Amino acid sequence: MSTPHPLPVVAAVDGSDDSKRALEWALADAARRGVELRIVHVRQYAPRLQADVLVAGPDEPADDRVIGDVRKALEAREGLPPLEFISRDGLPAAVLPEMSAEAQLLVLGSRGRGGFASLLLGSNGVAAARDAHCPVVVVPPPGRAVHGDTPVPPGPRVVVGLQPDEAADPDETVLGFAFEHAARGGARLQVVAAYPWPVLAWSAFGDFAPTTVDQEAAEQETLRLAEAAVTERRKSHPDVEVDLYVAPGDAAGHLVANSRDADLVVVGRHRRRFTRPAPILGSVTQAVLLHAASPVAIVPPGPALTEEERELR
């Protein structure tokens, strides 16, 4: 019985500086994973935008200058992973999520050639992060300023946002992705768990008022839940050093502050529910995508657990 071929990493290119940076990130990641890198250019031609021809056309038309330029730039380089070059005609916001079904990772830049320079994140990046079947890494432009004086440890570091909420459906895909990426790159893992403070409740007058919940108790409970969440992953990745960062306030703000000099920030995407059947990024994920100084990985949720699986936990 033959061993199934591992899925590739997919890098979207369009000739922009942002996509070139994303390509470099994807080259390094595919090499660490030991898999093929599929380099894709989606050409937006107005006559080809009808829904029934979103991915029509040959795989590699001879007149695709973007693919030609990438080929030429890489032909003399050594130590690269196996490469495949593909062109598609259509809308990147539709084609890239479709291609992600046959990839283990999709990588693209914050903005493409067609975006406004003032935009922090282009529409294709939003669509891919929201709709892709696999994790998506968005590589930002250099020089993003991160405000605050949060001290960050030296050396390679992966930051992951953790919502230690016992009431939420358990989902280990985000934490698992972060551990695996840290293990491949020899990086330490910084787990960020934020809790709301002050805790507010409705008052008799219809306003929000602070409760008597003790902040120290809230912090200790958050720390306990975070430690429980990482325990199993530590067993499977004993070489990964883990730091737990527990703090009150805005989760997005803490993640952005800790993105300074990080290799990657990992966040999750909301699970589809009856009340929100369409894919949703979530406010924290959107804020991190817009403001983080490091590349950001958006991990889609794993399958929802059954009642029996929840009870076993």
Structural domain count, the chain? 2
Residue 90: left if φ>0, alpha if ψ -120 to 50, beta else—which one? left
pLDDT range class, residue 293, cuts 50, 70, 90: very high
Do 166 and 304 lie in a common domain? yes
If you average pLDDT over residues 106-125, what whole number do you get?
63
Higher pLDDT, 22 or 112: 22
The strand ranges marked E within 249-312 are 264-268, 296-299
Whether the CB-CB separation of 104 and 81 falls below 8 Å is answered with no
Which is nearest to 256 in space by CA: 298, 290, 222? Answer: 290
Q: Is pLDDT at 145 greater than 90 in this prediction? A: no
pTM: 0.83
What is the model's pLDDT at position 279?
55
Do 133 and 191 lie in a common domain? no
Do 107 and 217 lie in a common domain? no
If you average pLDDT over residues 103-127, what whole number do you get?
69
* Alpha-carbon span 292 to 251, nearest angstrom: 12
Location of structure tokens 């922090």: 120
Do 303 and 175 lie in a common domain? yes
Report if residue 1 sits inside a domain.
no
Structure tokens at 243: 């730091």
> Could you say which of 139, 167, 202 is where a domain stops?
139
Q: Is pLDDT at 307 greater than 90 in this prediction? A: no
Q: Is pLDDT at 291 greater than 70 in this prediction? A: yes
**Which CATH number characterizes residue 219's domain?**
3.40.50.620
Do 128 and 215 lie in a common domain? no
Do 164 and 282 lie in a common domain? yes
Report if residue 3 sits inside a domain.
no
Q: Is pLDDT at 134 greater than 70 in this prediction? A: yes
- Write out pLDDT tens, residues 164-200: 664 444 458 899 999 999 999 999 999 999 887 665 5
Report if residue 148 sits inside a domain.
no
- Write out pLDDT tens, residues 61-84: 567 899 999 999 999 899 999 999
> Could you say which of 107, 139, 171 is where a domain stops?
139
Helix (H/G/I), strand (E/B), else coil: 313: coil
Whether the CB-CB separation of 174 and 267 falls below 8 Å is answered with yes
